Amino acid sequence: MVNCEECGHNMASVHLTKIENNEVTAVHLCEECAKGKGISIAIDPEKFGLASMPIPMQQAIAAMQPQAPSKPVLVCQSCGTNQDEFDKTGRLGCASCYGAFREQIDKIQLRFSDTLAYKGKMYSRGTCSEDETFLREELCRAVKGENFELAASIRDRIKRIARNPEAN
Amino acid sequence: MIPASVLPAWLSGTDPEQIVVSSRIRLARNLASHFFPDRSIPAERMRVFSEISSAAASLPAFAEMTCCNMVDLSAQRRQLLLERRAASRKLVEGSGDRGTISTDNAALSLLVNEEDHIRIQAIGPGLCALDLWEHADNADTELGDKLEYAFEPSRGFLTSCPTNAGTGLRASFLMHLPALALTGALDQVLAGAGQLGFAVRGFFGEGSDAVGHYFQISNRAGCGMSEDDFIHETALLASRMTDYERSARTKLFNDAGEELAEKVWRSIGILLYARSLTLREFLSLSSCLRLGVAAGIVPDLTVEFLNRLMLSSFPAHLELAAGESFSSENADRVRAAMISKALSEII
């Protein structure tokens, strides 16, 4: 515990870290002096609520809450599209989603057709695997560009290919 | 760059009756080795765009076509493609590398990185879906030899939205049904189409309003039938609706000819003297004029003239002709002046 740097006698309860010209300075103030400097310390539930937290923290907190047992969530092992996303958007992420969400897709198609049988034009080239070399190049580019969110998503895709080569 | 003055194929019809304004065949395809566009990272979209445009450039079916990446186009040029039906609203309003590879008159277009990697569409005037299918099918076969489509023998072509999976085909017809509206039978006819399993949409397709008594009808399912059967069934519905509209017109011309002539001439009066006209107002009034052409009420008017007037009244076409951008209020004034001038030259 430290005393307020402004008045010197009250206990500091507001701790600020200032970064200016690459120099980091720590400032410790009591509530009264912080107010005097125009620093609001009132906790706004909207600003400091769960919604304002970074998503991983929200997920960590959500994971701690007791939850009712739910049915297993389907996830496409190739592109990572999950049941919730598919329910919300009605859109699939890749060709492999047709394996992951087969039953649900059948039900949707049967709303518009009496049969699921395919009676259209045939195509002979079939499917091929996702291009891992391309993804690795993109991963390097994303890391170089410090786009870490994108890099993490590409890394997950490469991992999925390694785990499930036949899913692609 | 596609010139704004070239009349798009869908507006090139000359039949004075013109109940089926245009037909359209669309095929949805995806590349097997990439995530679907909404799931793709930007670099992947760029790569897909490049793969598809390179493949199309090497094929006879796509010779002399113009490739436009939406990223390189102004908002006005993107809107122009939408108005010419060479692009969809989703493509125009989307983000990242996406675009069209199209003939000048948009008779055949590839929409790249829309909801699916590839949408092949062929559009023509009147009821011509089987010819369009042949055209789109040839382009699809050529492209499918160059690119690796996502396809399962038991399911067909795999698409972002599972309702399109299978043939990936949508056969749609733009119908003009003013007499059914005036005789109060339109709602029943459109509800009947819905009950038979067909989709009914507005002028610009998915998500657009019904305006000027124009409606697009199309098949909804992608599996369970062959392409030929889907086209045949939807064309049959378009033919039946044409018969209903034709009967309603005959009844209207016979029983209320004077009232109809009054309505047509009043519409011409407004179009000649209005100082400001919204696009919606123009489409509604010109719908009445089209009926007047079919009834022979205004001998000097032709469908070709009305089609060109319609194209010129769309916002991006209006701006390009004037060489400047307008606020919507100014656009309404410029539209009214342009229409008044064009009409006064022939009436």
Q: Is B187 found in the same domain as B80?
A: yes
Res B10: pLDDT:
94
* Domain stop point among B190, B218, B248: B248
pLDDT of residue B6: 83
Same domain, B306 and B327: yes
Does residue B2 fall inside a structural domain? Answer: no
Q: Which residue of B has its CA nearest to A112?
A: B221
Give the end of a domain, one of B200, B216, B248: B248
pLDDT, residue B64, reads 80
Interchain contact B133–A (C-beta under 8 A): no
Q: Which two tokens stand for residue A3?
A: 């005393």
What is the arithmetic mean of pLDDT over B148-168? Answer: 95
Query: What's the 3-state SS for chain A?
Result: CCECCCCCCCECCEEEEEEECCEEEEEEECHHHHHHCCCCCCCCHHHHCHHHCCHHHHHHHHHHCCCCCCCCCCECCCCCCEHHHHHHHCCCCCCCHHHHCHHHHHHHHHHHCCCCCCCCCCCCCCCCCCCHHHHHHHHHHHHHCCCHHHHHHHHHHHHHHHHCHHHC
Domain assignment present for B162: yes
pTM exceeding 0.80: no
How confident is the model over B287-291, as a mean pLDDT? Answer: 96
Mean pLDDT of all residues belonging to chain B:
94
Task: Mutation target for B interface from A113, A144, A148, A161: give the one with most B CBs within 10 A.
Answer: A113
41-70 in chain B: CB under 8 A from chain A: 41, 43-44, 47
| Cα-based distances in Å from A2 to A12, A119, B33, B326 | 6, 78, 60, 63
Q: For B43-59, what is the mean pLDDT?
A: 94
DSSP three-state, residue B82: helix
Beta-carbon separation of B152 and A79 below 8 A: no
Residue A69's pLDDT band, with cuts at 50, 70 and 90, is low
Q: What is the ipTM of this complex?
A: 0.89
pLDDT (0 to 100) of residue B2: 59
Q: Are both B71 and B209 inside the same structural domain?
A: yes
Query: How close A14 gets to chain B, by Cα (Å)?
Result: 41
Q: Is residue B76 part of a domain?
A: yes
Tokens of B163: 């309702």
Question: pLDDT at position A155, please?
Answer: 77
Compute the average pLDDT of residues B197-225: 87
pLDDT digits (tens, 9 = 90+) for A101-129: 999 999 999 999 888 889 999 998 644 44
Please say if the pLDDT value at position A43 is more than 60.
no
From the list A81, A116, A126, the residue facing B39 with the nearest CB is A81
Asked if the model's pLDDT at residue B320 lies above 90, the reply is: yes
Residue B193 and residue B155 share a domain: yes
What pLDDT was estimated at residue A144?
80
- Mean pLDDT, residues A25-32: 76
Residue B3 resides in a domain? no
The confidence score (pLDDT) of residue B161 equals: 97
Question: In which band, very low, low, confident or very high, does the pLDDT at A168 lie, cut at 50, 70 and 90?
Answer: very low
**Position B157 confidence tier, pLDDT thresholds 50, 70, 90:** very high
> Does B330 share its domain with B230?
no
pLDDT on residue B250: 96
Of B32, B156, B227, the CB nearest to A127: B32
* Long-range contacts at B195-200 (CB < 8 A, ≥ 24 apart): B196/B237, B197/A112, B197/B221, B198/B234, B198/B237
Residue B171 near chain A (CB below 8 Å): no
| Domain co-membership, B147 together with B212 | yes
Asked if pLDDT for residue A45 goes beyond 50, the answer is: no
Question: CA of A115: which chain B residue's CA is closest?
Answer: B224
Q: In terms of pLDDT, which residue wins out, A6 or A167?
A: A6
Q: pLDDT exceeding 90 applies to what percent of chain B?
A: 89
Q: How confident is the model at residue A48 (pLDDT cuts 50, 70, 90)?
A: very low
Residues of A in contact with B161 (CB under 8 A): 90-92
Over 90: is that where the pLDDT of B244 sits?
Answer: yes
| 8 Å CB contact of B150 and A141 | no
Question: What domain count does chain B have?
Answer: 2
Up-side HSE of residue B225: CA atoms within 13 Å toward CB? 18
Q: Does B107 touch chain A (CB under 8 A)?
A: no
B319, B199: one domain: no
Is residue B157 a part of any domain in this protein? yes
At B310, which amino acid appears?
Answer: M
Q: Is B1 a domain residue?
A: no
User: Which residue in chain A is spatially nearest to B147 when comparing CA positions?
Assistant: A125
Who wins on pLDDT, A39 or B215?
B215
Q: What percent of chain A has pLDDT over 70?
A: 56
Q: Which two tokens stand for residue B347?
A: 């009436």
- The percentage of residues in chain B with a pLDDT greater than 70, rounded to a whole number, is 97
Res B54 pLDDT > 90: yes
From the CA of B232, how many Å to the nearest CA of chain A? 14
pLDDT of A124: 83
Q: How far apart are CA B205 and CA B218, in angstroms?
A: 10
Question: What is the mean predicted confidence (pLDDT) over B286-315?
Answer: 95
- Answer whether residue A47 shows pLDDT above 70: no
Position B72 confidence tier, pLDDT thresholds 50, 70, 90:
very high
> A113 vs chain B: nearest CA distance in angstroms?
6
Buried/exposed A71-83: b ≥16 CB within 10 Å, e otherwise: eeebbbbbbbbeb
Last residue of a domain, one of B183, B218, B248: B248
B4 falls within a domain: no
Average pLDDT over residues B181-207: 89
Q: Which of A93, A118, A126 sits opposite B166 (nearest CB)?
A: A118
Claim to verify: residue B282 and residue B178 sit in the same structural domain: no
Residue B274 — very low, low, confident or very high, per pLDDT cuts 50/70/90?
very high
Range of the domain at B104: 9-248
* A-proximal residues of B, 265-324, CB under 8 Å: none
**pLDDT at residue B268 tops 50:** yes
- Asked if A138 lies within 8 A of B153 by C-beta distance, the reply is no
Query: Is there a single domain that holds both residue B188 and residue B304?
Result: no
B313 or A50, which is more confident? B313
Predicted pLDDT of residue A31: 80
Residue B194 pLDDT more than 50? yes
Work out the minimum CA distance from B104 to partner chain A, whole angstroms.
29
Would you call A112 and B221 a contact, using CB atoms and an 8 Å cutoff?
yes
- Looking at CA atoms only, how far is residue B175 from chain A in angstroms? 23
Nearest residue of B to residue A86 by CA position?
B161
User: Would the CB atoms of A130 and B33 count as touching at under 8 Å?
Assistant: yes
pLDDT of B100-137, one tens digit each? 999 888 899 999 999 999 999 999 999 999 999 999 99
The domain spanning residue B147 has which CATH number?
3.30.590.10
Quick one: B127 and B264 in the same domain? no
In a domain, B96, yes or no: yes
pLDDT at A148 over 90: no
**Do residue B213 and residue B145 come from a single domain?**
yes
Q: Which residues of B touch A95 (CB under 8 A)?
A: 30, 32, 150, 152, 158
B160·A125 Cβ contact <8 A: no
Residue B238 sits in the same domain as residue B269 = no
Q: Give the confidence band of A153 by pLDDT, cuts at 50, 70, 90.
A: low
pLDDT of residue B179: 96
Which residue of B lies nearest to A130 if distances are taken between CA atoms? B33
Instruction: Give B41's contacts in chain A (Cβ within 8 Å).
Output: 138, 150, 153-154
